[in-house]
Each structure stands twice: as C-alpha cells, then as structure tokens.
Structure 1
Amino acid sequence: MCAFPNVTLVFLLALTVMSSLSITVNFDRAVKITAKRKIELESIFIECALNDMVRISAPMISEHDEYYLSAPPYGDTTKLELHAPKLLNKNNTHFHKNTALKYIFIKDIKALVNHEKNYHVFTSKSFGKKLKHLKPNEFMIGPLTEENYGNWVLSVYTKGHGEWIELFQVITLAITEPAVIEPQYPVLKIGDTFNLSFAYSLPAIETCEVIAPQWTFDRFFERTLGNFDKCGFSIPNVTKDDEGLWKIIGVGRIIHTGRVRLRVLGPYVKGDNTP
C-alpha cells in the first residue's frame, strides 16, 4: 500500500511499475467488524484485458466509513485506506462536477455519493498520470493477471444509530484475451468437414462455445476430443450457408475469444440463405 498527499493507492498484487516503484499488499483473512445489517449496492461489470489497470471509485456515505476489498478466488480481504473528500471544500470543485447523488434508506435517509462513471480501464503506461489525479475515495487494481479474473467484493462499513451497517458491491472483472484460431484462412468445398480450434491449449479450460454466422440456423457440430483443451469443433458437410465469420469463446482462468472467416467454394443451390 502506498500513500501520497491527497491520494490513496491500492494494488492487489506484488508488482513493479516504471522499474522504480515496488508495491506489495498483505491480505487479512477476516474483517474485524460485525455488521447488524447488510445492503447490496448495484453491481459493476468491467470488461478488461491482461495487463490492464482498473481505477474504481468507492461509494461514500460519511467521512468515517471503513472500506474492505475481497479478491477472487478465495476471498482474501484487505482494508483500504480510503475516505470521502469534503464535498463543500472549495478545492473540490472538479470532484463536485463529476459526482452523482443516489439515496439509500438506512433507518434514515443518507446520501450515497459516487462518480457518474465509477470505474475506468487503462494501460499501465498511464500509471503516472492516473496516480496524480487519484481521488481520496479511489483505488486501483492491476496490472491484471489471470488470478484477478472473477468477482471482487467491495464492502463499506458505516454507522447508523450507533450500529455498523455493511454496504457491499460486487465488482466483476471479465478479463478477455484475443486468441488465434486455426486454420486462419479456411477455404473449403461444399460437402467438406470444417475443423476449427484455438491454435494452442488453454489453461484449466472449463467451457467452450462456437458461434456460427448469423444466417446459419441449428447447425450441427461436435467437439473434437483430440482438441478438447483447445476448444476444437467439427462441422460436417459444409454448405454455402456456412460461409462467413465463425467465433470461438473459451473460458478457463480468463475468457479467450477468436474469430475466423470461412470461405466455401461451389455454386449456390436452392435453399441457400446467403444472398
């Protein structure tokens, strides 16, 4: 954890940035607060790529809230040294212009303040610039690795009538990496079998999906056992209707996506849906 004047920065893995700044964070296994009530806030779904960085704005209720962040896959938790800026401070006019007020009911009405867009994805090359403009209620995750894929949980503990209340928000990091499909330039004849797969094996593959061209309906295909860890598929007896863009989506530690355009040689016949 690294603190700067008016800036709090949290990285959730050991890393070296710009070869001169090394940051490590130690996780605590348990939160030492017992909340009498839990309230779920609107979840966030963030699409990103390997080595990206994510800046997230934590919701604010009062200046005395406590923040904790649980990381996948095991829910290791760390305390974030965040705080709400003084909104009436004349020096916070820029913050004022980029906030949106939402109201929640916790035995009484309290203002829940957050930015209009409470997250931003950028490359590690922009680290220095983003660091300078980091606000007191913001933190960063990254550079992203496969271990960061999944559901994070941001918990805000605030007091209402002397009792702790937990407001929690699920933050899903959907890390997607482009992948090469083989063959890269498939050209087949009508009646041939179309075999396609990723060009390399995926680590800990769980699910594979093939998406046919939009004008292909109820297309029969089967998984090729020899290429199971490469998301291999076999489409027999191709027709002109199969010509077009095919996609493979494979989910392992992260999401892998690839696409390839199939060309089918031969004349159009009656019943073809392709114009």
Structure 2
Amino acid sequence: MTGARFVVTGCARSATMYTAHMLTAAGLDCGHERVPAYRRDTFDLSSSRGVGESSCLAAPFLPLDIPTVHLVRPPLDVIGSLVGRRMLDGGHESFAAFVHAHAPEVFEHPPGVERAAAYWLAWNRMVEPHAHLRWCSTTLDTRDVATLAHRAGIEVDTTAVEQALAATSRRINARETTRIAPEDLGELAPEVDALREHYGLPWHEPIDTFDEKVPAMSNPDVHWFRNKRTGKEWAANPGRPEHTRMTADPTFERIEDEPAPAPKPKRTSRKSKSNPHPGGLDEFAASEERGTDG
C-alpha cells in the first residue's frame, strides 16, 4: 500500500508538528503537512512519503478512507498562538485564504481574538464527525499510539512509543503567542466553553507540560521558578507566556538565579615563569572557557 495509512488533523497550532515528530520517533513515519492542500480540490494521500500525515490542512477534505485522529488542544492556547502570529489577520495570507475558502463564516467575526475563536470552533466541528479517535495534545500516551497503529494495520513497539513520548519536546514549533482569557472571547465565549467541556479540555495547557528548565530565548534577564509539588525547576524570560503563567500560579515559587558552583579549593603549587596556569590543566581549561564566553 502506497501513501499515508492514517491522518492526524485538527486546528492549526494544535501540536500537529509535535505529533508528527513523536510518531516518527515511535516508528510510525509521519509527515507534517507534506501533502499539498492550498488551492487543491483533493487531499492526495498517495503523495505522502510516510505511513502517516499530520496536518491541519486535511480537515476540509474529510472523510478520508483511512483511520483519522482528531487532535485537540486547549482553546486559549490555540487562539493565543493564532493571534500572536496573526495567522488570520494578514500574517499568513495563504493560510487565511485557505480557511476563507473552506470556512468563510470565520471571517464574519472581527480580526483578532474573536476571529481566532471562530476558527477554533469551525475547524474542530469540521473534523469531529469524521474522526475515529480523538487525542488531546497534552495527554497523549502509549495506548493512544498503539490504538492508532492497530487501526492502521501497523506493528509498533510499545517500548519505542514510551521512549518517543518521553523524548520528544512539546515545544517543537513554539512561536509567538498572546495571553488570552475567557472573557476576551466576547460573544463566542459560551460556545467555546461548551465545546471545550465536550472535549474534556482545560482552558489552558497545564504548566507542567512545559519542558524542564526552558532555555532562555533572547532576553538575558532570566527568572527561575520551582514547582512546589515536584521540586522541578524552570527558567523563563519575563514577558513570555510561561513566565506569566508561573508567576500567577501558586503552585510555583520564584527562586534566585541558578546558583554558581562552589569554588574549588586552591591548589598549593610552585609557580613557574614558564607556566602561566600554575593550577594545572583544570585551570587552563577554565581560562579557555572564560575566553570563549567573553
């Protein structure tokens, strides 16, 4: 059999790229938006080079004659990401034209939060009737992947799946986002709330789904937080969404910057005019590191 044997689809900014990477690491070669969809009348799965395709662009072409996964993500995270990247408001013209062609009602709403909320509603409602499985991007587990593999007639090693789930970063394709609250959704808030509850989703992703010790981006002023329950520590830049959430969440406490390592005991050695590093190789290596950092 050529072409994809399963498809994963849902809203844009719902972790379709993460899902493709995770499934591929688990042994199910899954492409991300490999199948052309813009200005197309069909979704030609024979053009997929893997056994699966993960793409928000598949939604308007459902039903497809293969196992289909409806991938969902908490609404405020999707909406905030769409708004932050202006995907429906001039920041991604090809995507906006694609949405307009298949869900023109989205553009009856004003640009910004309400339009993104209308898209979240329309796209999920488009996928749901044709899906065989529903996955939440933040709670994927081994059973989910094994069930999909069984439906697609593909053998999978559960140990490989567990390792892929543990190793694949959930911050793949992390982009600009805007902090959104339920009250920002305007007249669409009740509809979003109802569909969110129907899918069993929280408003926001749990903070614990962030990678441990998120690396600093471009801002050198990094703040550190500790989860009071687990003791794990994260770093975040002021102004980033994870910083805002951890500041507001009583589960987290601010801690001082990562402590510097304790100084090594001084070595007693005879200084030599020919040896600029009397402390030996350790001191020489340390000086080399200081030079490259400076």
What band does the TM-score fall into relative to the shorter chain? under 0.3
**Which has the larger strand fraction?**
1
TM-score, length basis structure 1: 0.26
TM-score, length basis structure 2: 0.25
Q: Which has the higher contact order (CA 8 A, sep 6+)?
A: 1
